[in-house]
Structure formats: structure tokens, C-alpha cells
A and B are shown apart, each in its own frame.
Chain A
Amino acid sequence: MTSQHNPLEQRFFDDVNLGDEFEELQEPTTEHVLQFMGRTGRRGEDDPGADRFTDLTTARSQGLERPIVPGNMSMAMITRLVTDWMGPLGHIIQLDVSYRRPVLHGDRIRSVALVTDAEVAPRVHLDLSLENERGERPLQGTAIVTLPTRS
């Protein structure tokens, strides 16, 4: 799950245009999911529903083809795309996502962000989505971020 943007590189409002698109390719594996759940405290006896994120039999008993990626992790994936693109001085004001289909372990995910408004500095509006190799968009959302200006 490597980033294609250097988060140390600062993006400035002046250089952003409506229609700009940026993306990262990610392939969340079972190992990634286990690591995420362990680190963020999602796994444990207080969360009995968590098995569908790791166990094939449980997932299939719930009508899922394979174990799924937790919603928080999908949100973290799209958040990281935005923070990497913004650079360290960018700031997320609001991030709003809608989970429309499950992300399955091993899906090849294209995280995409597209600038939909960059008229009034320093705010930039983005449309966000995760797209899988089946042409579906399991996650869609929006973000409002602020970027520094060069002047």
C-alpha cells in the first residue's frame, strides 16, 4: 500500500485547477487488514462482528464472497490519498464518505480524487472514490481541504 505522492512535497492552492485528478493504486490484503485492526483496536471480544473482516466462513455466512475491508480502513485509504497529495501544510476541513459496496480482500483498488471546485482560496473541494477492477465504486465521498497560497 505504497503512496505515489511525496507527503513532504507541499501543494499550493495557486497550482490547483478544477478537473485535476490524482490517484493511488492499492491492494489491501488479509495481512494489511489484520495489521490495521490490531493497531486501531478494532479486533477483540468486544467486537463480535469483526470476524467478517478476517474469516472466509463468517463472511460467506453473511452473504459476502470474501472477507471485507473494514469501513474505517477504506476511509483511512482515501484519507491518506488526500493527505499525501496536500503535503504537510494542507488541512482537511471535512471528509464525508459513503460506503456503497464492500471492498473485498485482494481487490485491486484505485483511489481517486478529483478537484471539483478551487475558486475561492484557500479551499479546495474534492470528489473521492475507490474503484475496483470490476468497474464498481465501493466508496464515494467528498472532502473540503485548505492549501497554502504562494503569495
Chain B
Amino acid sequence: MTAHSYFDLHVHSTDGSDDAGGTVEGYCKWVEARRKSGYHIDGFVLTEHRRYVADIDYTALAEQYGVTILRGIEVETDVGHVLVYGINDDFLARFDLSDIALPYAEVFSAAEESGGIAVGAHAGRPRIGLVEHVGERGVSLETVGIIEALNGGSSDYENGRSFDLAEEHGLLTVGGSDAHFVSALGRCLTEFDTVVTSNEELVTALRGGEFRPVRVEDTREGATRKELPSAAHIPATSGQGDLGGDAIELDESAIGQEVHVGSLEVTLHTIAEYCEALEEVNPLYTDAEWAEREGPYGSIIAPPGILNTARLRPGPDPQIRFGDQSFMAGSRLETFEPIRPGDTIEAFTQVKEVYEKTGRSGRMVFVVRRTRYQNQDGVDVAATEGSMVLRKVKALDG
């Protein structure tokens, strides 16, 4: 009987990916829990965005949970994202990993020459997967041998396009969850017909070709495998912009400079108004008598979301000249102390970071602002981080 092993080949963590919420220990605990439910997951590969994180030692975690933790990277190329396994100094010396438009053919060749192997990530996604580039630009697949066709973050249609490409061009296929959050790990996996315990063995197994993409449900003993997706579904979002271009112009002196951007007077009335707008009925925020008698703070407090109602000035402007549209990309709220009626909250904002990456809509620039909220006693009560994405868009007809 063949000794199969099951690996999630595409995982992002808070140790190296700006948009991930899953910790490596959280992933290990999740694997442990999935095993208790009868699923088979041997390990996972950390493939952080544009960063090879080699300086964190996961040995203790791996031993504690009995999970094999391997490392690769997800880089961005002129034909979309590419997963590289078996990374070494030779490969790292050849590229600036922060570049969002690396030459794809060189990435695939360099991985092979340096003892590793490259895989076209989420091949069916618009802009950042191979399918569109092969179909629209006639990109050559000469250096490409494997694509990720079963991707946990892609729609069935997108995955179906990947399988179609693989069949048409004789490519091998793998599965990966593309997990950014703990509970996503293992949704899609790769089944190897051999035992894998190290980065070197992973490369050997991928070069050997004895593997296939599976869903986590398929790893249960006696499971009947579901059909893999076809492209005969409704298409998801269409591509919008380009993947590369000139360097972004910005005023770097604005980064890290904290300024006062406004204040918020919190009263029983403003708390009541906010609760009404959100149909909030938690008595901690709405019932003075209950809050005094039963609540942990001795009085009504404000829901933390009330900070969103503050009319704040935008703060330092890094003057980025890119794109014609901005969207919220992420929000973080950290609470430290309760906000009470009668508080005057002062807000201080700084631009924490500016960076770029590519996604379904093409090239994007992210601006991360951190705002600190301080009460009249000089105590920080909360902090928020907001990430805005700037991009170029095409209008839809009609």
C-alpha cells in the first residue's frame, strides 16, 4: 500500500505576510483539530508574499504538534504569482523579491537551476494567474511544469480554468489552501505518493511527479472523491489593470510622522445614537441601570466602534501619484481601556507604511495609517489601523 502524505503547499502567516491573520501556532492547533475530526494533514508550507522568512525557528512548534512545517515563498511576476519551493541563497541572490513584476521565465528557470522548483500559483485567477496570460498574450509555458489548479482562495470557475490549462498543455497540478486565516488551512491539499518530511524531500517529490490536488474531505478514510471543478461555471470578477510599471512617486518624509487629527466628545447621547444606527441592544452600551448593577465597568461604556464616528482630518499625506480609485483594504481595532460617557478622545494619526502588490485587479498601492486614541487623562484607550488600496479601474458598460 502506498504511503501517502498530505501537504498544504500554500499558506501565509502573520510572521511574513501583511494580509494574513493566522499565526503559525494557530495553524498547528488547527491541524491537530482537523486530525481529531478524521482528516489527514501531515504539514504545510509557509509561502509568505514577497519575503522568504528564514530566521524564525519552528522546530519546537513542529515537535509539539507533530506537524511538518516547511518554507517556500510566493513571488510576483509579469504573469502572476509563483510559488517557489527549495529556496536557497543561490535563488535569493538572483532576484529582488519585493519587485512585483519579476520575469517569470527566469524565476522558473532559476528555481530549477538552484535546486528548487517553481509552481504557477492560483493559475485561473484574473491577472495574477497564468491562464489569462497564456490566453491573451500567448505566454510560453516552456519553463512551467506545475500549476496550482486547486486553490482554496479561488472560485470554482477560476480553478476550473486552471485544470483546463493543465490538460491542454500537459501540466501537473497541485492543491493549496492559500490560507491567510487559521480555519482556511487544509481546504485544498496535495497528496504525495511518498513521505515528505523536509524542504529537500518536497522538491524531490514535486520533481518526481507522483502527486495530485485533493480537498480536505478527500483525505478521510474511505472518502469518495468529488469531481474536480470545470470552467463551465459563472465567471468571477474580470481583470482590471496592469501588473507592473514605473516606480510609484511619493513623499517618504510623511511616513512615521504622527499628528493630531481631531477629537471626539463621547456622551450618553452620542452612544445612544450610535447604538440606534447599528440596532445595538447590548445592555453594556444601552442600559445604564443594568450596566451599573451587572456590568464590569460600573457604568455604561461606549461600543468601541464609536471611534468610527469621529470626524478626523486625514493626517500626513504621502502624495502618492497612482491610480484613480481608492478602497478600504483592511481595518484593525485594538482596545485597551473602556471609553466612557464624558470622555474627550484625542486622535493622533501617522502613515505607518506604503507598499505595492498585485491582485485580481492588477497593480495596487497600499497605504497603512495607524491612529492612536487618547482620553483626557492621557491614557491610550484604543488604536486603529486602516489600509487603503489605490488602483486603476475600467468602467463597466451601461
Q: B181 — which chain A residues lie within 8 A by C-beta?
A: 127, 129, 140-142
Q: In the complex, what distance in Å separates the CA atom of A110 from the CA atom of B276?
A: 22
A39 within 8 A of B: yes
Residue of B nearest to A77 (CB): B278
Distance between Cα atoms of A116 and B32 in the complex (Å): 11
Which of B236, B277, B284, B326 contacts A49 (CB under 8 A)?
B326
Contact A94 B335 (CB under 8 A): yes
- B332 proximal to A (CB < 8 A): yes
Q: Is B156 an interface residue (CB 8 A)?
A: yes
Interface stretch, picked from B141-149, B252-260, B390-398, is B390-398
Q: How far is the CA of A97 from the CA of B305 in the complex (A)?
A: 14
Q: Are A127 and B182 in contact (CB under 8 A)?
A: yes
Q: Does A64 contact B (CB under 8 A)?
A: yes
| Beta-carbon contact of A95 and B395 below 8 Å | no
A99 touches B395 (CB 8 A): no
A81, chain B: closest CB distance, angstroms: 12
Task: Check B305 against A136 for contact (C-beta < 8 Å).
Answer: no
Q: Is A62 an interface residue (CB 8 A)?
A: yes
- Asked whether A60 and B21 contact (CB < 8 A) given A7-B281, A71-B327, the answer is no
Contacts of A83 in B (CB 8 A): 280, 282, 303
B183 touches A127 (CB 8 A): yes
Given contacts A63-B240, A65-B396, A88-B295, contact A76 B283 (CB under 8 A): no
Q: How far is the CA of A79 from the CA of B371 in the complex (A)?
A: 19
Count of interface residues, chain B, beta-carbon cutoff 8 Å:
57
Chain A residues whose CB sits within 8 angstroms of the CB of B91 once the complex forms? none
Tell me if A107 counts as interface (CB < 8 A to partner B): no
**Is A8 close to B, CB under 8 A?**
yes
Which of A61, A62, A94, A117 contacts B334, CB < 8 Å? Answer: A94
Cβ of A16 within 8 Å of any chain B Cβ, yes or no, is no
Where chain A touches its partner, the secondary structure class is mixed
A91 in contact (CB, < 8 A): yes
A76 to B309, CA, bound (A): 12
Interfacial residues of chain A within 4-52, with CB under 8 A of chain B in the complex: 7-8, 18-19, 35-36, 38-41, 46, 49
Q: Please, how many angstroms separate the alpha-carbon atoms of A99 and B182 in the complex?
A: 17
Most buried by A among B181, B273, B308, B326: B181
Complex CA–CA separation, A80 to B285 (angstroms)? 13
B180:A98 contact, CB within 8 angstroms: yes
- A134-B155 CB under 8 A given contacts A60-B396, A64-B396, A116-B182: yes
**Contact call B335/A89, Cβ cutoff below 8 A:** no
> Which residues of B from 215 to 252 have beta carbons under 8 Å from A?
234, 236-237, 240
- Which of these, B281, B308, B335, contacts A93 with CB under 8 Å? B335
Complex CA–CA separation, A101 to B330 (angstroms): 11
Q: Which residues of B contact A141 (CB under 8 A)?
A: 21, 181
Chain B: CB-nearest residue to A39: B277
Let me know if B269 is at the binding interface, CB within 8 A: no
Q: A83–B274 Cα gap in the complex (Å)?
A: 15
Contact flag A39-B182 (CB < 8 Å), given A1-B279, A61-B395, A125-B26: no
- CB-based nearest A residue for B325: A62
Inside 8 A of B265's CB, which chain A residues have their CB? none
Are the CB atoms of A80 and B304 closer together than 8 Å?
A: no
Chain B proximity of A105: nearest CB distance (Å)? 15
A24 CB → nearest B CB, Å: 12
**Using Cβ atoms and an 8 Å threshold, which residues of chain B touch A84?**
282
Minimal beta-carbon separation of B395 from chain A (angstroms): 5
Nearest CB of B to A60, in Å: 5
Name the CB-closest residue of B to A49: B326
A1 and B295 alpha carbons, distance in the complex (Å): 26
Closest 3 CB pairs between A and B?
Answer: A39-B277, A71-B328, A142-B21
What are 10 A-B pairs at a CB distance below 8 A? A7-B283, A61-B395, A83-B282, A88-B284, A92-B333, A94-B334, A98-B180, A116-B26, A116-B183, A136-B155
Given contacts A1-B279, A88-B282, 15 further A-B contacts (CB under 8 A): A18-B29, A36-B278, A41-B311, A62-B393, A63-B240, A70-B328, A88-B283, A94-B332, A114-B183, A116-B26, A116-B182, A116-B183, A117-B29, A127-B184, A140-B180
